[in-house]
Amino acid sequence: MINGLHPRTVPCEQCPLRALATFRPFTAEELEFVSGFKAGEIHARTGETIFAQGSRSDYLFTLLRGWLFRYKTLPDGGRQILNFVFPGDFLGLQGSIQEEMQHSAEALTNVVLCAFPRDRLWDLYSRFPGLAFDVTWLASRSEQMLDENLLSLGRRTSLQRLAYLLLHLYLRAEQTGLADDGKAIFPFTQQHVADTLGMSLVHTNKTLKRLAISGTMRWRDRTFELLDREGLAALALYEATLDQKYPLI
């Protein structure tokens, strides 16, 4: 588990995320505030736990670099991955204000997070409504993704679930500039996929084979290749067209 804050290595003024299409430009005042709001960074290596269910954290986070995932565990040992977190995503707001975290977070690669003290969130709300609005927007977007996930677990078959998840992850990677020429590095294992989709490792493996012979994608050696976007979307039972669903936000 990560404890101490790391001094900042990336000044907000040069934040690489600001270039992403997802983000609106900040005003000078906002930028200055955010920069002062950022207390430091968290650096974690592949496999490390960033925070654990039941612990308290004085900080809210933003993922600056790398991949991680949020998960919950059941007393009987079962693990459910809730979602994967991409650069620019908020982390830790779920537990809201000063309560125990209800989930854990683990790094899939080496990661850098920006840490913001929870007790200054009120400052942000009172002085920068625009930023407050952005926070709400991010929260609402992640709620939408959770909804879609719930639909997957509840109503899609294992093949559809798998197709949906891989397509979703690819599209998010693409939006974050982590995909190139239909290819993206997926730094997780079949076990992670199984834990996300609520299925066993063995069944995940079999279903993955079935999906592979559809020819819509390839996933080998940590590299995911999207071969037929529309085909995979059809298998995933995507209902909206891709443009509607992913309007480059």
Partner DNA sequence: CGACTTGTTGATGTACATCAAGGTACGTGG
Partner DNA sequence: CCACGTACCTTGATGTACATCAACAAGTCG
Give me the 162-191 binding string for DNA, x by CB under 7 A, dash otherwise: ---------------------------xxx
Binding segment toward its own copies, per CB under 8 A, in 12-20, 132-140, 173-181, 209-217: 132-140
Contact between 223 and DNA per CB under 7 A? no
Instruction: Supply the minimum distance, in Å, between the C-beta of residue 127 and its own copies.
Output: 8
Choices 12-20, 29-37, 151-159, 208-216; region in contact with its own copies by CB under 8 A: 151-159
Q: How far apart are CA 222 and CA 236, in angstroms?
A: 21
40 binds, options DNA, its own copies, none, Cβ within 5 to 8 A by partner type: none
How many residues sit in the footprint of DNA (CB under 7 A)? 19
Quote the least distance from Cβ 54 to its own copies, whole Å: 8
158 near DNA (CB under 7 A):
yes
CA distance 90 to 80: 19
| 3-state SS, one letter per residue, for the chain | CCCCCECCCCCHHHCHHHHCCCCCCCCHHHHHHHHHHCCEEEEECCCCEEECCCCCCCEEEEEEECCEEEEEECCCCCEEEEEEECCCCEECCCCCCCCCCCCEEEECCCEEEEEEEHHHHHHHHHHCHHHHHHHHHHHHHHHHHHHHHHHHHHHCCHHHHHHHHHHHHHHHHHHCCCEECCEEECCCCHHHHHHHHCCCHHHHHHHHHHHHHCCCEEEECCEEEECCHHHHHHHCCCCCCHHHHCCCC
Interactions with its own copies, residue window 94-113 (CB under 8 A): 94-97, 100, 102-103
226 near DNA (CB under 7 A): no
Site for its own copies in 39-78 (CB under 8 A): 54, 70, 72-76, 78
Handedness of CA 116, 5, 103, 248 (dihedral sign): positive
Q: How many residues bind its own copies (CB under 8 A)?
A: 53
Residues 42, 68 contacting (CB under 8 angstroms): no
Task: Pick the binder of its own copies from 3, 4, 28, 126 (CB under 8 A).
Answer: 126
Stretch that binds DNA, among 108-116, 201-209, 227-235, 237-245 (CB under 7 A): 201-209
Interface contacts to DNA, rule CB under 7 A = 157-159, 189-191, 198-209, 220
Interface contacts to its own copies, rule CB under 8 A = 54, 70, 72-76, 78-80, 82, 93-97, 100, 102-103, 122, 125-126, 129-130, 132-133, 135-137, 139-144, 146-151, 153-156, 195-198, 237, 239-240, 244
